[in-house]
Amino acid sequence: MKRVWSRAQGPLRGSVRVPGDKSISHRAVLFAALAGGTSRLTGVLDSADVRTTIAAVRALEAQVEELGRDETGLTLDVTGWGSRGPVAPDGPVDCGNSGTTARLLLGLLAGWPREVTLVGDDSLSRRPMRRVMVPLAAMGATFTSDDGRLPVTVRGAAAPKALFYDSPHGSAQVKTAVLLAGLRARGTTSVREAVPSRDHTETMLPAFGVPVLRDPDAGWCGLDGPARLVAHDLSVPADPSSAAFLVGAALIVPGSDLEIREVTLNPTRTGFVRVLQRMGADLAVESVSTLGAEPVGTMRARSTAQMTGTLVTAEEVPSLIDEVPLLAVVACAARGTTRFEGIAELRVKESDRLEAIAEGLGALGVHVRQGPDWLEVDGPAALHEASLDSRGDHRLAMAWAVAALTADGDVEVERWDAVDVSYPAFAEDLSGLFAASARE
Q: Between the CA of residue 331 and those of 120, 364, 368, what are the distances in Å?
A: 34, 13, 11
Phi, psi of 363, deg, nearest 5:
-65, -30
Cβ atoms of residues 124 and 98 within 8 Å: yes
Q: What is the pLDDT, as a whole number, of residue 232?
A: 97
d(CA 104, CA 98): 10
d(CA 129, CA 98): 12
| b/e burial code for range 102-136 (CB count within 10 A of at least 16 → b) | bbbbbbbbbbbbbebbbbbeebbbebebebbbebb
Q: What is the pLDDT, as a whole number, of residue 434?
A: 87
Q: Is 293 left (phi over 0), alpha (psi -120 to 50) or beta?
A: left
Q: Strands 282-291 and 294-302: what pairing?
A: antiparallel
Task: Select which of 322, 378, 389, 429 is catalytic.
Answer: 322
| b/e burial code for range 16-47 (CB count within 10 A of at least 16 → b) | bbbbbbbbbbbbbbbbbbbbbeebbbbbbbbb
Question: For 204-237, what is each residue's pLDDT tens digit?
Answer: 999 999 999 999 888 899 999 999 999 999 999 9
d(CA 21, CA 243): 10
User: What is the three-class DSSP state of 398?
Assistant: helix
Q: Strands 93-94 and 115-119: what pairing?
A: parallel
DSSP 440: -
Q: Between the CA of residue 98 and those of 171, 383, 395, 399, what are the distances in Å?
A: 15, 32, 14, 20
Report the run of H or E that residue 51 belongs to, with start and end.
helix 48-59
Question: For 130-161, what is each residue's pLDDT tens digit?
Answer: 999 999 999 999 999 989 999 999 999 999 99
Question: For 299-311, what is each residue's pLDDT tens digit?
Answer: 999 999 999 999 9
Instruction: For each of the domains in the chain, give its residue range(s) and CATH number, in order of start.
Output: 3-20+238-439 (3.65.10.10), 23-235 (3.65.10.10)
**Which residues make Cβ contacts (< 8 Å) with residue 185, sequence separation at least 6?**
111, 139, 159, 160, 161, 162, 163, 225, 226
Name the pTM for this structure.
0.94
Question: For 406-415, what is each residue's pLDDT tens digit?
Answer: 999 999 999 9
d(CA 239, CA 249): 16
d(CA 233, CA 41): 6
Minimal CA–CA distance to 104: which of 74, 72, 126, 136?
136
Phi, psi of 164, deg, nearest 5:
-100, 120
d(CA 78, CA 39): 5
d(CA 245, CA 312): 18
d(CA 36, CA 15): 39
d(CA 258, CA 336): 26
d(CA 110, CA 113): 8
d(CA 288, CA 237): 12
| pLDDT surpasses 50 at 440 | no
d(CA 141, CA 110): 5
Minimal CA–CA distance to 257: which of 249, 245, 268, 266?
249
Whether omega for the bond prior to residue 151 falls within 30 degrees of 0, making it cis, is yes
Whether omega for the bond prior to residue 226 falls within 30 degrees of 0, making it cis, is yes
Question: For 78-130, what is each residue's pLDDT tens digit?
Answer: 999 999 999 999 999 999 999 999 999 999 999 999 999 999 999 999 999 99
Cβ atoms of residues 54 and 79 within 8 Å: no
99: β partners: none
Q: In which band, very low, low, confident or very high, does the pLDDT at 438 lie, cut at 50, 70 and 90?
A: low
Does residue 147 have an active-site annotation? no
Q: What is the pLDDT, as a whole number, of residue 375?
A: 98
28: β partners: none
Question: For 237-287, what is each residue's pLDDT tens digit?
Answer: 999 999 999 999 999 999 999 999 999 999 999 999 999 999 999 999 998
Apex CA 415: angle with CA 321 and CA 410, to 5°? Answer: 95
Residue percentage of the chain with pLDDT more than 70: 99
Residue percentage of the chain with pLDDT more than 90: 92
Q: Between the CA of residue 136 and those of 23, 192, 207, what are the distances in Å?
A: 21, 15, 25
DSSP string, 294-308: EEEEEEEEE--S--B
Cβ atoms of residues 80 and 54 within 8 Å: no
